[in-house]
């Protein structure tokens, strides 16, 4: 666990941008605060800097730098510098130009707002991509493919994204259930077993109801996948797998849930695409077969001849 705010994935690996680690860290000594401030203001330089140079620049010592790195859950300075270099290479530090909570003001023109929302969308996707690994994506996709039944726990705006995911899965003969469909998520949960998969979508990860449900599912040995934006969530310790993506979005004080919903939609679309790709040819053949059945029985309107591709 990472000093009270770590991200647990498949095997306890920490998946967090350096810029997010240094922003969320607490209880720094005066020396460590000086180190943190210097690094934040000089990321490009620090990404190739020797430890002795950093110690000199921050008026600290070699051992102080190592202790600081370990406080951020790195094995040492080299591992921390490697992550700093990744942030610099991926231009993570430049992805915060648009405030995710208030991406426009009353004085912005329509085109200004359109550009801000465009930038916010791109930034949110880039931040998400920078925080996920191939290993965890493949593991999550495998769980989805192997599950007998798939249940999605999501409320509010997030449930809209869950329904989009549900709709896509139907096309490949994978039927998912929205747990809250008839306000009976408790009864849905009690009927799941080790052959099923429960996916929890919760950006704040603070729902007491979801916490109780995921605890119960762990006791019943039901596989669970938690997708959240809160590395402090108590739900993490009970989930079989967690994908945690941090966006610069507040829990409550904001215009809307722009960044978090972009994250959910992007991740769910990505997982669907990975699942689809595992049986790509089979899915295409099945799509064509189903399409022919629907059109030949007048269930689905046929494509007009002049619209068909040669």
Asked if residue 192 belongs to a domain, the reply is yes
Q: What is the CATH number of the domain that holds 258?
A: 3.40.50.10490
- Partner residues linked to 225 by β-bridges: 199, 241
Residue 93 CB contacts under 8 Å (≥ 6 apart), including other chains: 19, 43, 87
For residues 88 and 142, membership in a common domain is answered with: no
- Identify whether the C-beta of residue 96 lies closer than 8 Å to the C-beta of residue 123: yes
- Partner residues linked to 202 by β-bridges: 228
For residues 32 and 152, membership in a common domain is answered with: no
**pLDDT, position 301:** 62
Asked if residue 117 belongs to a domain, the reply is no
Asked if residue 303 belongs to a domain, the reply is no
Asked if residue 265 belongs to a domain, the reply is yes
Q: How many Cα atoms occupy the beta-carbon half-sphere of 235 within 13 Å?
A: 32
Asked if residue 254 belongs to a domain, the reply is yes
Distance CA 39, CA 13 (A): 24
**pLDDT, position 62:** 93
Asked if residue 116 belongs to a domain, the reply is no
Residue 47 belongs to domain spanning: 18-94
For residues 247 and 140, membership in a common domain is answered with: yes
For residues 69 and 151, membership in a common domain is answered with: no
Q: From its phi and psi, is residue 214 left (phi > 0), alpha (psi between -120 and 50) or beta?
A: alpha
Tens place of pLDDT per residue across the chain (310 aa) = 343 333 333 334 446 778 778 877 778 899 999 999 999 889 889 999 999 999 999 999 999 999 999 998 899 999 999 888 887 876 654 545 688 888 888 998 999 899 889 988 988 898 898 888 899 999 999 999 999 999 999 999 999 999 999 999 999 999 999 999 877 899 999 999 999 999 999 999 999 999 999 999 999 999 999 999 988 899 999 999 999 998 877 777 777 889 899 999 999 999 999 999 999 898 888 888 888 888 887 776 655 555 444 4
For residues 51 and 151, membership in a common domain is answered with: no
Q: What is the CATH number of the domain that holds 73?
A: 1.10.10.10
**pLDDT, position 228:** 95
For residues 73 and 188, membership in a common domain is answered with: no
For residues 256 and 167, membership in a common domain is answered with: yes
**pLDDT, position 5:** 35
For residues 139 and 244, membership in a common domain is answered with: yes
Residue that has been written with the tokens 């972009």 in this structure: 262
For residues 141 and 276, membership in a common domain is answered with: yes
Residue among 112, 185, 109, 115 nearest 151 (CA): 185
The tally of domains found in the chain comes to 2
Asked if residue 45 belongs to a domain, the reply is yes
Asked if residue 107 belongs to a domain, the reply is no
């Amino acid at each position: 666990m990472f000093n009270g705010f770590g991200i647990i994935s498949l095997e306890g690996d920490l998946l967090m941008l350096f810029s997010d680690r240094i922003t969320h860290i607490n209880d720094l000594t005066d020396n460590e605060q000086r180190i943190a401030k210097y690094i934040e203001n000089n990321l490009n330089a620090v990404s190739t800097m020797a430890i002795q140079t950093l110690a000199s620049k921050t008026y600290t010592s070699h051992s102080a730098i190592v202790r600081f790195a370990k406080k951020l859950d790195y094995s040492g300075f080299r591992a921390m510098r490697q992550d700093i270099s990744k942030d610099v290479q991926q231009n993570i530090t430049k992805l915060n130009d648009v405030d995710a909570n208030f991406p426009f003001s009353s004085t912005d023109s329509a085109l200004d707002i359109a550009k801000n929302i465009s930038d916010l969308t791109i930034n949110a996707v880039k931040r998400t991509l920078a925080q996920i690994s191939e290993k965890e994506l493949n593991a999550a996709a495998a769980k989805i493919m192997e599950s007998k039944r798939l249940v999605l726990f999501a409320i509010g705006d997030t449930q809209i994204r869950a329904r989009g995911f549900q709709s896509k899965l139907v096309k490949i003969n994978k039927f998912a259930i929205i747990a809250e469909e008839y306000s009976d998520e408790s009864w849905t949960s009690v009927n799941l077993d080790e052959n099923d998969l429960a996916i929890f979508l919760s950006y704040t990860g603070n729902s007491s109801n979801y916490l109780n449900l995921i605890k119960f599912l762990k006791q019943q040995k039901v596989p669970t996948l938690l997708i959240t934006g809160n590395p402090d969530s108590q739900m993490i310790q009970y989930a079989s797998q967690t994908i945690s993506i941090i966006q610069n979005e507040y829990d409550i004080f904001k215009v809307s849930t722009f960044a978090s919903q972009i994250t959910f939609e992007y991740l769910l679309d990505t997982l669907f695409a990975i699942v689809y790709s595992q049986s790509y040819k089979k899915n295409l053949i099945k799509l064509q077969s189903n399409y022919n059945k629907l059109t030949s029985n007048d269930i689905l309107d046929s494509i007009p001849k002049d619209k068909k591709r040669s």
